[in-house]
Amino acid sequence: MAVSDPTVERDAALFAPIERTGWGFYLTVGVLGLAVLWGAAAYWTQFDQGLGVTGLHQPVSWGFYVTNFVFFIGISHAGTLISAILRLSKAEWRRPITRMAEVITVMVLFIGAGQILVDLGRPDRLLNVIRYGRYQSPLLWDATSISAYLTASTFYLYLPLIPDLAILRDRLGKRRFLYAVLAMGWTGTERQHKILNRAIATMAVLVIPIAVSVHTVVSFVFSMTIQPGWHSTIFGPYFVVGAIFSGIAAIIVAMAIIRRIYHFEAYLKPIHFRYLGQLLLVMTLLWFYFTFAEYLTAYYGNEPEEMKIFWAKFTGRFWPIFWAMLVLNVVVPIACLVRLRHHAIGKTVVASVAVVIGMWLERLNIIVPTLSNPRLPFPEGQYWPTWVEWGETAGSLGLFILLYVLFVKLFPIISIWEIKEGREVGLKEVEERLRTYLPDETEPEPARDRAKVLT
């Protein structure tokens, strides 16, 4: 890509968030900063006085923190997994949405992994894991797979960003050093395109099994125990499905907000929401299928320890969480998504917000009822989070959104070069590909002129 290419001007709107800073940006940063401060104050109180200031105790030793951990790691599947699948399947409509999905992944992985540190109470003890960690423990499998996912996702976000960084380096007067360093000497030669395209393709293939392994291993933290409600062979795929489900919902919410604030109506069209909405509907049904299978098996087995938890969720003290989860994850999405011909954006956004909240409740619903009804002869436990857990949760969410806002301020949230590539090469490729689907047509030559057109 010629970095001074005048055709880039066609997408000048994509530079607006970086070039102009309005009062809305400062207001948003201020409000999010307050949430982060609340979280920091909550964490300092806990660090200073110990976990006793939280609602965590025996037997309910995991509450909001582990719920947040599973939730955030789940949301992280939004990005890289969805983006990689769409990229590998050559779904052309992916172009404006892949980066905003990849950014979600990297940001929430940091926040999600941080929840474990918060839950430790004594964060200095993390050093013991580094020095004497034992691979017999699923917790260490988690640490390893999350490290791999974080590394892969960061590079998977960074690599397609390089040509855009070169555009910023040559176009903007400010932050030139930052963009020049990160652009890695990109000049858009054919050789550089070849290197980058090969690396992006390799990462797209690599990141899918890593992402699947991450949430499978997160589920192992629960299913490898013999706790009722957790000891299940379908927990791995159940968690992966739930992660992709909440991830798609998170992308849709992010897309709608960015579209509205930065006026990207020309890039994020109703058709993008419709396609993602259809994907969300499929995941709704898949998630319901797994949930149904999980609870039906427990009910049919009729084991006393399992049934205590089953009824605690259905009609006992956890019924509001359980039924709210079902309504938000199944009833609302199905009602909104079955017909998307009209008001596609509004309907998908309502369904997605419901799913994001519903999936957080699902994580809480997995963790707390089981710990409240222990298999061992402990009395039943109660869990009421204190302001410390609420503060830490608000702070984590605020930090995630703040990091996202800062990313949008510094880098193009829609890939400029991929949009350009879509116009110049994608259209031709799609036509050629369509021809091969039809009878009496031969396979086309690979698009050899891809780099030439972009250079």
Partner 1 sequence: MSDERSAFDRKVRAAQWGVAALAVVFIGGIVTWIAHLIRTAWRLGDVPSASIGISLVAIPVFLVLLGVIVSVFWGLLRDGGNR
Q: Which parts of this chain interact with partner 1 (CB under 8 A)?
A: 130-136, 140-141, 144-145, 147-148, 151-152, 155, 159, 162, 177, 180-182, 184-187, 189, 191-192, 195-196, 199, 202-203, 206, 210
Considering the complex, what minimum distance in angstroms separates the CB of residue 144 from partner 1?
5
Q: Which is nearer to partner 1, 25 or 158 (CB)?
A: 158
Q: For 46-65, what is the HEC assignment? A: HHHHCHHHCCCCCCCCCCHH
Q: Is 431 left (phi over 0), alpha (psi -120 to 50) or beta?
A: alpha
Q: How far is the CB of 184 from partner 1 (least distance, A)?
A: 4
Q: Which is nearer to partner 1, 105 or 373 (CB)?
A: 105
Please, which residue, 144 or 386, has the CB nearer to partner 1?
Answer: 144
- Residue nearer to partner 1 on the CB measure, 32 or 116: 116
**DSSP readout, 400-415?**
HHHHHHHHHHHS-SS-
CB of 194 to partner 1, least distance (A): 9
Output 191 or 341, the one with its CB closest to partner 1: 191
Task: Provide the minimum distance between the beta carbon of 85 and partner 1 in the complex, in angstroms, as a whole number.
Answer: 19
And the tokens for 46? 């806990």
Tokens 């996912």, located at residue? 149
Answer for the pair 121, 51: CB distance below 8 angstroms, yes or no: yes
Q: Which of 109, 193, 148, 166 is nearest to 399 (CA)?
A: 109
| Kind and range of the H or E run holding 359 | helix 344-372
Residues 23 and 90: their CA atoms lie apart, in Å, by 39
Give the nearer residue to partner 1 in terms of CB position, either 110 or 314. 110
Q: For residue 162, which of 175, 181, 144 has the smallest C-alpha distance?
A: 181
Residue 187 or 232: the one with the smaller Cβ distance to partner 1 is: 187
Identity of the residue, 144 or 232, whose beta carbon is nearer to partner 1 in the bound complex: 144
**In the complex, minimum distance from the CB of residue 242 to partner 1, in angstroms, rounded to a whole number:** 24
Angle (nearest 5°) at CA 297 between 293 and 299: 120
Do the Cβ atoms of 146 and 73 come closer than 8 Å? yes
**Strands of 88-128, DSSP E:** none
Rounded (10°) CA dihedral 120, 37, 158, 242? 60
Q: To the nearest whole angstrom, how small is the minimum distance from the Cβ of residue 146 to partner 1? A: 11
**How far separated are the first and last CA of the chain, in Å rounded?**
4
Q: Answer yes or no: are the C-beta atoms of 454 and 164 closer than 8 Å.
A: no
Residue 155: CB minimum distance to partner 1, A: 6
Alpha helices, DSSP H, located in 264-303: 270-301
Describe the crossing of helices 270-301 and 235-262 by its angle, rounded to 10 degrees: 150
If the CB atoms of residues 50 and 185 are measured against partner 1, the closer one turns out to be 185
Rounded to a whole number of angstroms, the minimum distance from the CB of residue 161 to partner 1 is: 12
Closest CB to partner 1 among 134 and 448? 134
Question: Is the CB of 154 or the CB of 386 nearer to partner 1?
Answer: 154
Give 299-356 as a 3 state SS string.
Answer: HHHCCHHHHHHHHHHHCCCCHHHHHHHHHHHHHHHHHHHCCCCCCHHHHHHHHHHHHH
Tell me how far apart the alpha carbons of residues 291 and 299 are, in angstroms, rounded to a whole number.
12
| Least gap, CB of 68 to partner 1 (angstroms) | 24
Nearest approach, Cβ of 276 to partner 1 (angstroms)? 28
Q: At what angle do helices 190-223 and 344-372 cross, to 10 degrees?
A: 40
Closest approach, Cβ 2 to partner 1, in A, equals: 13
